Amino acid sequence: MAVQVLVTLDGTVLDPKLPLLTADDLAAVRGDGVFETLLVRDGAAREEGPHLARLARSAAMLDLPEPDLDRWRGCIAAVVEHWVGKDDFALRLILSRGGESSGTATGYATGSPISATVLAQQTNGLAAVTLDRGVSSDAAERAPWLLLGAKTLSYAVNMAALRHAGRLGAEDVVFTSTDGYVLEGPTSTVVLATGRTLRTPPAEAGILPGTTQGVLFRAAERAGWECEVGPVRAEDLLTADGVWLASSIRLLARVHTLDGEALGDAATGARLTTELQQLLAGA
């Protein structure tokens, strides 16, 4: 996504085409930092509070300085104010450990248009593959230094997984644990429906707590759905009435094909997708 707006944490609006980071900034050198991505719709950042809370949680996991959330709120407001156009856009917050020599944290936010691919997946759904993430479902508790469940800038593995999926003819990935449990997507939370029950894997499995999934579950419960957070076996995806990837920008995209096999009844999946997308839109 091409950056159209760039605002530093002190509220300074910069030209996004000019360099910002120093050559030794640890965001670039080591991916040592955290980020959040918010959807801006109708001039307002959706779920700003939960995103800022998750930014603070990720920063604590990396032993970064505690974010000044009031300054980040001001930064968000500045990006929204300087956005040109009426369309939805993606607002990204980046907090780096900063320059290796300076030791001063770097914080900034960007505004970028939403890609046509993302919009198409909202409407048409997508094909995904399951990939072994190489960790067990209890790795987060046993090995906290792996930073499972933190939204870090170290996304090289996630991007490699997406490229691998592309080589297999798919568009996205569902990560699984070595002991056969569903984890998450590279940039999304997995949600599945069986009857009128929605399910999603627990954060304790070492996954990022999903802000969009949280909004969806609250709205669905108000509409009479049962919502459960608990272990999901990989084979559960094959028997579900619907499987979706939920994320802040894409919101909800149905997985219509998994590992080359069609999932569920197409008409049922389409109907449920419409219903859940409407619940999200109204939340």
CATH number at 86 reads: 3.30.470.10
Identify residue 162 by its one-letter amino acid code. Answer: L
Residue 102 has pLDDT above 90, yes or no: no
The answer to whether residues 164 and 242 belong to one domain is: yes
Per residue in 27-78, pLDDT (tens digit) is 999 999 999 999 999 999 999 999 999 999 999 999 999 999 999 999 999 9
Confidence of residue 268 (pLDDT cuts 50, 70, 90): very high
Token reading at 135: 């960790």
Residue range 200-204: mean pLDDT, rounded: 96
Same domain, 166 and 204: yes
Whether residues 184 and 268 share a domain: the answer is: yes
Residues spanned by the domain of 61: 5-114
Residue 79 above 80 pLDDT? yes
**The pTM is what?**
0.94
Q: What angle do CA 191, 193, 194 make, to 5 degrees?
A: 145
E-only strand ranges, the chain: 5-8, 13-14, 33-41, 44-45, 89-96, 106-113, 126-132, 172-176, 189-194, 197-200, 226-229, 242-247, 251-258, 261-262
Query: Do 16 and 3 meet the contact criterion of CB atoms below 8 Å apart?
Result: yes
* CA–CA gap between residue 237 and residue 234 (Å, rounded): 6
Is residue 283 scored above 80 in pLDDT? no
140 and 278, same domain (yes or no): yes
Q: CATH number, domain at 191?
A: 3.20.10.10
Mark whether 55 and 160 lie in a shared domain.
no
Q: Is the pLDDT of residue 1 over 90?
A: no
Q: What is the pLDDT of residue 103?
A: 80
Task: Give the residue-averaged pLDDT of 199-213.
Answer: 95
Q: What is the pLDDT of residue 257?
A: 97
HSE-up of residue 145 (Cα within 13 Å, Cβ side):
0
Q: In angstroms, rounded to a whole number, what is the distance separating the alpha carbons of residues 251 and 90?
A: 12
Q: Within this chain, do residues 51 and 147 fall inside the same structural domain, yes or no?
A: no
- Contact between 66 and 127 (Cβ < 8 Å): no
Tokens read off for 74: 């001001």
Number of independent structural domains in the chain: 2
The residue among 57, 81, 114 that closes a domain is 114
Same domain, 78 and 125: no
Provide Rg for the chain, Cα atoms.
19
For residues 103-127, give the mean pLDDT: 94
